[in-house]
Chains A and B, each alone.
Chain A
Amino acid sequence: MSSMGLKIVVCIKQVPVSNNLKIDPITKNLIRSGESGIMNPFDKNAIEAALRLKDKWGGEITLLSMGPPDFEMTLRQGLAMGCDDAILLSSRQFGGADTLATGYVLSQAIKELGDVDLVLFGRQSVDADTSQVGPIVSEFLDWPQITFVSDLHSYSKQAMTATRLLENMQQKIEFQLPAVVTVRSEMNEPRYPTPRNIQQSYKKDIRIWDEKSFQVDPNRIGLKGSPTVVRSVWAPEKEAKATKFLKGTADEAIRELLIQLRANNLL
């Protein structure tokens, strides 16, 4: 544990601008039509949580991401929000990783950084929607995990309380650092980058780490380290319902609707 302030890592991901992707009917590949990416929206909440902790306790925030070189854009955006430092884990050897291989590489990088107090993630990515990587990293670090957190209070640099929202209940959880926390959007309103921070972000270096920069088992990274295989991909035909348009005024439409609702025993 660092003596001065909190050493926080925020893991972020770049996702496509829109989810309206198409599949090439012949090659079955995703057509990305050269569109650029944006930061996964939930990751901004994780960054905001980190910035507030830094405001309170001091310390430093390192952004960590794994992906191709153009992920720099998203890291730059996080720096502009006020983070101190960014590392992009980028190498062909890391390519084709599923959640397990991704979590492994991230956890090894966090171990390499050393003395990290807290690792934050967004609750899930909006493209693959897995929410797996945070817990996988926690397991590899052998740290407590507090997932889907809507509220975080730090009453010391060593211990915090969190509210975790489940489908029909909430838990109040106390935990000690180091720990992994995944953040719901309910937790905060992410700040916008200030002009000064945007300007400063361009002065900050983004470090690029490949498989030689830190210790990784070559059998646990990339395609080789990924147990899951995508057997096929398709765009589901969404069958449109044969809708019946109700005509006339609202009262006339309701009258027609009531007949149908009664016929279906819904009234």
Chain B
Amino acid sequence: MTNQEIWVYAEKHLGIIQPVTYQLITKANAIANGKKVVVILFEATDNNLEDTIKEYGPDEIVVVKDDRLKDAADSEIAFLMAELASRRQPNSILFGATVVGRSIAPRLQAKLNTGLTSDCLNLSFDGDLLVQTKPSYGDNIMCEIICPDHRPQMASVRPNTFESIKVSNKSVMVTEVIDLPFKVADRIKIMEETPLLSKSDSIASADRVIALGRGAVDDNVIAMAEELARKLGSKIGVTRPLTDHPKFSGDDQIGQSGNTIAPKLLINLGIHGAVQYTTGIENAELVISVDKDPEAPIFKHSDYSYVGDSADFLKGFLKVVQ
């Protein structure tokens, strides 16, 4: 069992490793039980992203350096992963359930003719078997999924489900693979990559979030919420109906098919609390909610609840914070 490997795919955007990669390394370390945690990193020749990955203490980083990897197509990455997997026969491969993870992992799954479970909320090992806990039907149902007869076992994990913890004093082996064939996808080309400022990444990683729902759509309510957000240093997120508002988009959405957030402070305004929304706030620490309906389900997910008008609440709040 000692030679078995758990792989973590290192996801990078614009040359920066995404937090979910570190979360996966930490989780893999916690459940490894003697298995080797190996990060697979594809980067351009002038990158050295292995240096930051090291801090999270995997056992090994396998790196492929090639300038075509700066903006490679899904199929090119999947091809390289499949080549590596056929050489090293990992026990399992983990991805973030991000756009990239959800795109490369199934392509690789089809190449390797194995199972993949998307959007897992927990992982554990039962011997060599990776037990994957996945929500279904809008998180109303949880399933435990296994892949008994095929290897590797593959899973993608929802970002911000696990903590990332730095590990000191661990020696991390770095292995550069230089003889992988590169199958160029010549019918697809990424022309340009541009960062989306503010948007979902900042909500997902924000310490403080003010969330607006259907009961907080008036222009003056939004304006006051923006002012409070500036004063508290928080980001603004919305429920699905508000993504149609010209100020917001799908990237600002919290909940199922939006972002999962984990702030220290969350203030919900005019949000009733459908399960599609509350799914995205389960990891929030202190939750304050304001809604006109005393029976609103959001209050069951809140530490402090106020039955009343969001505008009055904001007015009162703005008076006391400077």
Given the interface pairs A132-B106, A144-B73, the reply to whether A174 lies near B188 with Cβ below 8 Å is yes
Q: Is the CB of B190 within 8 A of A173?
A: yes
Q: Is the CB of A135 within 8 A of B106?
A: yes
Question: Among B109, B137, B148, which residue has its beta carbon within 8 angstroms of that of A229?
Answer: B148
Does B302 belong to the interface (CB within 8 Å)? yes
Chain A residues lying within 8 Å of B309, measured Cβ to Cβ, are 250
Does A214 belong to the interface (CB within 8 Å)? no
- With the chains together, A191 CA to B145 CA distance in Å? 38
Q: Mark B283-319, 1 if CB is under 8 A from A, else 0.
A: 0001111000000000111111111110011011101
Q: Is the CB of B137 within 8 A of A243?
A: no
Q: Is the CB of A241 within 8 A of B117?
A: no
- With the chains together, A177 CA to B185 CA distance in Å? 13
- With the chains together, A50 CA to B303 CA distance in Å? 47
Question: Among B71, B107, B190, B286, which residue has its beta carbon within 8 angstroms of that of A139?
Answer: B107
Chain B residues lying within 8 Å of A230, measured Cβ to Cβ, are 143-145
The interface on chain A, measured as residues whose beta carbon lies within 8 A of the other chain's beta carbons, has a size of 81
Q: Is the CB of B286 within 8 A of A169?
A: no
Given the interface pairs A100-B115, A166-B100, A173-B191, the reply to whether A243 lies near B107 with Cβ below 8 Å is no
Does A113 belong to the interface (CB within 8 Å)? no
- With the chains together, A250 CA to B303 CA distance in Å? 17
Does A155 belong to the interface (CB within 8 Å)? no
Question: Chain B's interface: helix, strand, loop or mixed, by majority?
Answer: mixed
Does A1 belong to the interface (CB within 8 Å)? no
Q: Is the CB of A179 within 8 A of B99?
A: no
- With the chains together, A127 CA to B138 CA distance in Å? 6
Q: Is the CB of A167 within 8 A of B98?
A: yes
Q: Is the CB of B315 within 8 A of A250?
A: yes
Shortest C-beta distance, A253 to chain B (Å), equals 5
Q: Is the CB of B199 within 8 A of A235?
A: no
Q: Is the CB of A129 within 8 A of B118?
A: yes
Q: Is the CB of B75 within 8 A of A140?
A: no
Given the interface pairs A135-B106, A138-B107, the reply to whether A167 lies near B200 with Cβ below 8 Å is yes
Shortest C-beta distance, B262 to chain A (Å), equals 14
Q: Is the CB of B119 within 8 A of A266?
A: no
- With the chains together, A229 CA to B308 CA distance in Å? 48
Does A73 belong to the interface (CB within 8 Å)? no
Q: Is the CB of B109 within 8 A of A132?
A: yes
Q: Is the CB of A234 within 8 A of B250?
A: no
Does A44 belong to the interface (CB within 8 Å)? no
Chain B's closest residue to A42 (CB) is B257
Q: Which residues of A contact B (CB under 8 A)?
A: 16, 19-21, 23, 30, 98-100, 103-104, 124, 126-136, 138-140, 143-148, 161, 164-176, 179, 184-186, 226-236, 238, 240-241, 243-246, 249-251, 253-255, 257-258, 260-261, 264, 266-267
A98-B115, A238-B278 known, 13 other contacts, Cβ within 8 Å = A103-B106, A103-B110, A130-B106, A145-B74, A166-B98, A167-B13, A167-B159, A227-B150, A236-B139, A236-B142, A245-B299, A253-B316, A266-B286
Question: Which 5 interchain pairs have the tightest Cβ spacing?
Answer: A168-B201, A227-B115, A19-B138, A139-B110, A144-B188
